[in-house]
C-alpha cells in the first residue's frame, strides 16, 4: 500500500538495500528533504538505474569479505551518477574499487565524534568536530585509488572517504539517524551539491492520499481492527473510519491480561469519543496467560502472543458477532515493526513483531490485511494524527509494545550468581540488542551508580564497545543488598510477577507524569528482572529514552529528585530488591529488553 493515490515521480535517488535496519529511514530522510526516492534490492543491475541522479548503498549486518554477503553491480560506479555508501555501503565501495576492509578489534556502537580532515562538498558548512552515530565492527583500512580520507573517529581512521572527480563517497556512520547532529545537512549536501537533485516531493498532507488507497484496498469489504489504544492503531482506525464510514469499520480491544493498570478504561474512552457502536472489549486474559505458561524465551513469547492474537481474532471474526459479510483485518503496523522482524530482503531479525507472525503473514498472502501506516515512522504517524484532528493527549502517548508486559517481565530457567569483572558485575540476565545491524542476545553489565568523575552513559558506551560479551549496561541506583550478593532465580511469567510489574510501572508513570519528565522522553519502559535475593527475587530496571521514530534512541539520565522518589517507592514494594537505570543507547541495545 503506497502513500500516494497518484503515480509518484521517477525516483531521482535510489537506495540499494543491503539488509540494514535503517534502509527505509534513509529513503524517508531523503523524501523529507523534498526529493523522491525509492528502495531497490542491492543486486539491481546498473542498467535499471540509468537516468537517476544518485544512488545510496545502505548499511547491513554482513561483512563484505564473507561468502554470500550482499553485493552490488560494479557497473553502478560507471553510470556517471553520484554514489554514497553508508556503513556496509561504505565498506562495499572500498571493497569493489580496490581499497581494504578488515574486521576490527574494537567496534563502535552508538555515539561517537567525527573529525573532518579536509574540505569536501559532503561536509560543506559542517566541517570540524561533530557528533555522529556508529554501529559497526568492520572498518575500511585503506581507501581505493583516487579516494581521500575525509573524516576519522578515535577508533576509525577512515570514517569518511570520497573521490570528488567521480562523485563517489562513503561514510562509516549513519547520517540518516537523528543522533548524527549534522546528518540532515550532510544528506542535503549529497542530494543538492553532489547529485544536483531538484525538489519534487512533499511529504505533508498524506491523509487524503492514504484514505483513497484504503478504499481501493478494501474493494467493498469491511475492515475490522483489533486496537490497543496506542497512537498507531488509533490513527490507522481513524483513517479507515474516515475513508469507509462507521457502518463498515469496527474496533475490538482484546484484554490479554498483559496490559498496564487502567489501560482498558483509557482505550474505551478514546474510542467512545470517535463514535457510538464501533467499539467493544473482549476479555481473553485467561487464554493468553495459559498459552504463556512456562514460556521463558523472548522470541517464543512473541510468537506465542502473536499466534494467540490471530487465533482469538479468527474465532471472533468467525462468530459473526461484529461484522457480517466479507471482511479484512486492519492493523496499525508501522515501518520499524517490519524492519526489526526482517521485513526487508536481507535484514537480520532483531525481534519478531506480533503483527508479523506466521498467522498474520497468511492473511497478508491472502490479501486480507490493510495497514495504512506500514511505510510510516512514529513521528510521521503523529503528524498524520494531527492532520486528522486527534487530541494531543493521545498523540503524545508513549509507545507501548503489542505483546504488553510479557516482554517487560524477564524469565529465567535457573538461578545463577552475578560474576565479578574488573569493569563491573556481569549479570546472568540476557537482553536483545542490535549490533552492526544484527541481532544479539547477551548478558548485562552492572555498574555502581555511586558518584564518579566519568559520566555513566559515556562509561557504558565505552564498556559495550570494549566487551564483546555484553550488549547492555545498567547502573545500580539503590538496593537492599550489594550487587555482588544478587543472584537470578528460576522465574516464569506468572500472575504474581505480572501484578508486581503493574504496580511498579504505575508508580513510575505516576511520578514521571506528575513531574513532567514523561514529556522530556520518547518512551519510559519499566522492566522486571529476576535478579535479587530469596526474599526479594525481582529488581526493577528503568529505561527512559529519547528518540524520534524508535529506530535509534538515546538513553536519558534521571533528574535527581525523580530518581530519589522512584528508588524510595519502588524499594518499598514487596519482592523488589534493587532499582537499576539502563544506560544503553540503541544501538547496541533495543529499546525493549525482549
Range 112-121 average pLDDT: 96
Q: Is 176 a catalytic residue?
A: yes
Other C-beta atoms closer than 10 Å to the C-beta of 543 total 26
pLDDT in tens, 147-163: 999 999 998 999 999 99
pLDDT band at 8 (very low <50, low <70, confident <90, very high): low
pLDDT in tens, 546-567: 987 777 789 999 999 999 999 9
What number does CATH give the domain 13-195? 3.40.50.880
Say if residue 452's pLDDT is above 90. Answer: no
Rounded Cα distance, 241 and 58, in Å:
37
> Which ranges in 437-494 belong to alpha helices (H)?
456-466
- Determine the pLDDT at residue 333: 86
Q: Are 111 and 585 in contact (CB under 8 A)?
A: yes
Q: Are 224 and 254 in contact (CB under 8 A)?
A: no
Q: Name the active-site residue from 23, 81, 87, 197.
A: 87
Q: Is 136 a catalytic residue?
A: no
Say if residue 316's pLDDT is above 50. Answer: yes
CA 502 → CA 12, 254, 288, 462, distances in Å?
Answer: 50, 18, 17, 33
Rounded Cα distance, 63 and 65, in Å:
5
Counting residues of the chain whose pLDDT is more than 70, the rounded percentage is 91
- Determine the pLDDT at residue 323: 63
Say if residue 82's pLDDT is above 90. Answer: yes
pLDDT in tens, 222-278: 999 989 888 999 999 999 999 999 999 999 999 999 999 999 999 999 999 998 889
pLDDT band at 23 (very low <50, low <70, confident <90, very high): confident
CA 20 → CA 15, 292, 349, distances in Å?
Answer: 11, 32, 11
**Same fold yes or no, 13-195 and 207-404:** yes
- Determine the pLDDT at residue 438: 72
CA 256 → CA 281, 288, 358, distances in Å?
Answer: 11, 6, 19
Residue listed under C-alpha cell 475490538: 252
Which residue, 50, 45, 60, 46, is CA-closest to 10? Answer: 50
Handedness of CA 446, 451, 453, 454 (dihedral sign): positive
Please report, for the chain, the start and end positions of each structural domain, with discontinuous segments joined by +: 13-195, 207-404, 409-582
Query: Measured in whole angstroms, how far is the alpha carbon of residue 162 from the centre of its chain?
Result: 30
List CB contacts of 199: < 8 A, sequence separation 6 or more: 33, 34, 35
Which residue, 78, 339, 323, 370, is CA-closest to 216? Answer: 370
pLDDT band at 7 (very low <50, low <70, confident <90, very high): very low
Between residues 9 and 350, the one the model is more confident about? 9
Q: Is 174 a catalytic residue?
A: yes
Which residue, 86, 137, 141, 20, is CA-closest to 465? Answer: 137
Rounded Cα distance, 198 and 37, in Å:
12
Rounded Cα distance, 479 and 477, in Å:
7
- Determine the pLDDT at residue 434: 77
491 grid coordinates: 522465574
How many residues in total does the chain contain?
A: 594
Q: Strands 100-116 and 148-152: what pairing?
A: antiparallel
Say if residue 544's pLDDT is above 80. Answer: yes
Terminus-to-terminus CA distance in the chain, angstroms?
A: 29
Query: Cα dihedral angle (22, 25, 27, 33), rounded to 10 degrees?
Result: -140
Report which secondary-structure segment, H or E, holds 249: strand 249-255
Between residues 314 and 476, the one the model is more confident about? 476
Helix (H, G, I), strand (E, B), or coil: what is residue 223? strand
pLDDT band at 202 (very low <50, low <70, confident <90, very high): confident
Say if residue 2's pLDDT is above 60. Answer: no
347 grid coordinates: 535484514
Helix (H, G, I), strand (E, B), or coil: what is residue 37? strand
Q: Are 230 and 396 in contact (CB under 8 A)?
A: no
- Determine the pLDDT at residue 318: 77
The pLDDT mean for the chain works out to 89
Handedness of CA 548, 554, 559, 565 (dihedral sign): positive
- Determine the pLDDT at residue 447: 96
Which DSSP string corresponds to 320-366?
Answer: TSS--S-EEEE----HHHHHHTT-STT---SS--GGGSHHHHHHHHT
Range 492-519 average pLDDT: 96
Q: Looking at residue 137, what DSSP letter applies?
A: E
Say if residue 341's pLDDT is above 70. Answer: no
pLDDT in tens, 36-48: 888 899 999 999 9
Rounded Cα distance, 525 and 51, in Å:
47
pLDDT in tens, 436-451: 667 788 999 999 987 6
Looking at domain 409-582, its CATH architecture is 2-Layer Sandwich (3.30)
Rounded Cα distance, 193 and 181, in Å:
19
- Determine the pLDDT at residue 432: 87
- Determine the pLDDT at residue 481: 97
CA-only gyration radius of the chain, Å = 24
- Determine the pLDDT at residue 401: 86
Between residues 483 and 137, the one the model is more confident about? 483
Rounded Cα distance, 527 and 541, in Å:
5
Q: Name the active-site residue from 90, 96, 136, 174.
A: 174
- Determine the pLDDT at residue 320: 75
Q: What superfamily in CATH does domain 207-404 come from?
A: HUPs (3.40.50.620)
- Determine the pLDDT at residue 5: 31
Between residues 318 and 175, the one the model is more confident about? 175
> Which ranges in 135-206 belong to alpha helices (H)?
183-188
Q: Name the active-site residue from 176, 340, 383, 412.
A: 176
Query: Measured in whole angstroms, how far is the alpha carbon of residue 169 from the centre of its chain?
Result: 27
- Determine the pLDDT at residue 355: 57
Other C-beta atoms closer than 10 Å to the C-beta of 155 total 15
Least confident of 173-177, 400-404, 502-506: 400-404
Counting residues of the chain whose pLDDT is more than 90, the rounded percentage is 64
Amino acid at each position: 500500500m503506497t502513500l500516494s493515490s497518484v503515480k509518484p515521480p521517477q525516483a531521482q535517488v535510489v537506495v540499494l538495500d543491503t539488509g540494514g535496519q535503517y534502509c527505509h529511514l534513509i529513503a524517508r530522510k531523503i523524501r523529507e528533504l523534498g526529493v523522491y526516492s525509492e528502495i531497490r534490492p542491492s543486486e539491481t543491475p546498473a542498467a535499471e538505474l540509468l537516468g537517476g541522479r544518485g544512488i545510496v548503498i545502505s548499511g547491513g549486518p554482513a561483512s563484505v569479505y564473507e561468502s554470500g554477503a550482499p553485493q552490488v553491480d560494479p557497473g553502478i560506479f560507471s553510470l556517471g551518477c553520484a554514489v554514497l555508501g553508508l556503513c556496509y555501503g561504505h565498506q562495499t565501495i572500498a571493497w569493489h574499487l580496490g581499497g581494504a576492509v578488515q574486521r576490527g578489534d574494537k567496534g563502535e556502537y552508538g555515539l561517537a565524534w567525527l573529525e573532518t580532515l579536509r574540505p569536501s562538498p559532503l561536509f560543506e558548512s559542517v566541517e570540524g568536530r561533530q557528533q555522529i552515530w556508529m554501529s559497526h565492527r568492520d572498518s575500511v583500512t585503506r581507501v581505493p585509488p583516487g579516494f581521500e580520507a575525509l573524516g576519522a573517529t578515535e577508533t576509525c581512521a577512515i570514517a569518511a572517504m570520497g573521490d570528488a572527480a567521480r562523485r563517489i563517497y562513503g561514510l562509516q556512520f549513519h547520517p540518516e539517524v537523528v543522533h548524527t547532529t549534522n546528518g540532515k545537512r550532510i544528506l542535503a549536501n549529497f542530494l543538492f551539491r553532489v547529485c544536483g537533485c531538484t525538489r519534487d516531493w512533499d511529504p505533508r498532507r498524506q491523509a487524503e492520499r492514504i484514505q483513497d488507497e484504503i478504499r481501493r484496498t478494501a474493494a467493498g469489504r469491511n475492515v475490522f481492527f483489533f486496537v490497543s489504544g496506542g497512537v498507531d492503531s488509533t490513527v490507522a482506525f481513524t483513517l479507515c473510519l474516515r475513508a469507509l464510514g462507521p457502518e463498515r469499520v469496527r474496533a475490538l480491544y482484546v484484554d490479554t491480561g498483559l496490559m498496564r493498570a487502567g489501560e482498558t478504561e483509557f482505550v474505551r474512552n478514546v474510542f467512545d469519543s470517535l463514535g457510538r457502536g464501533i467499539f467493544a472489549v473482549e476479555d481473553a486474559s485467561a487464554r493468553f496467560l495459559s498459552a504463556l505458561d512456562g514460556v521463558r524465551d523472548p522470541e517464543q513469547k512473541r510468537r506465542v502472543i502473536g499466534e494467540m492474537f490471530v487465533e482469538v481474532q479468527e474465532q471472533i471474526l468467525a462468530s459473526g458477532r461484529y461484522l457480517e459479510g466479507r471482511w479484512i483485518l486492519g492493523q496499525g503496523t508501522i515501518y520499524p515493526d517490519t524492519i526489526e522482524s526482517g521485513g526487508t530482503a536481507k535484514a537480520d531479525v532483531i525481534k519478531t513483531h506480533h503483527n508479523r507472525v506466521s498467522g498474520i503473514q497468511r492473511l497478508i498472502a491472502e490479501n486480507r490485511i490493510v495497514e495504512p501506516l506500514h511505510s510510516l515512522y512514529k513521528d510521521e504517524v503523529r503528524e498524520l494524527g494531527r492532520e486528522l484532528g486527534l487530541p494531543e493527549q493521545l498523540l503524545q502517548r508513549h509507545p507501548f509494545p503489542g505483546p504488553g508486559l510479557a516482554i517487560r517481565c524477564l524469565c529465567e530457567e535457573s538461578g545463577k550468581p552475578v560474576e565479578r569483572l574488573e569493569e563491573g558485575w556481569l549479570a546472568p540476565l540476557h537482553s536483545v540488542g542490535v549490533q552492526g545491524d544484527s541481532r544479539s542476545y547477551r548478558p548485562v553489565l552492572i555498574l555502581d551508580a555511586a558518584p564518579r568523575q566519568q559520566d555513566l552513559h559515556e562509561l557504558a558506551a565505552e564498556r559495550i564497545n570494549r566487551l564483546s560479551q555484553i550488549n547492555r549496561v545498567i547502573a545500580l541506583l539503590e538496593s537492599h543488598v550489594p550487587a555482588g550478593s544478587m543472584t537470578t532465580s528460576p522465574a516464569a511469567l506468572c500472575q504474581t510477577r505480572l501484578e508486581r510489574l503493574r504496580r511498579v510501572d504505575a508508580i513510575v508513570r505516576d511520578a514521571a507524569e506528575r513531574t513532567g519528565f514523561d514529556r522530556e522522553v520518547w518512551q519510559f519502559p519499566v522492566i522486571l528482572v529476576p535478579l535479587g535475593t530469596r526474599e526479594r527475587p525481582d529488581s526493577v530496571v528503568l529505561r527512559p529514552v529519547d528518540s524520534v521514530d524508535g529506530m535509534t534512541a538515546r538513553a536519558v539520565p534521571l533528574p535527581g529528585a525523580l530518581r530519589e522518589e522512584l528508588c524510595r517507592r519502588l524499594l518499598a514494594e514487596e519482592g523488589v530488591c534493587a532499582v537499576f537505570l539502563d544506560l544503553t543507547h540503541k544501538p547496541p541495545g533495543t529499546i525493549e529488553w525482549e
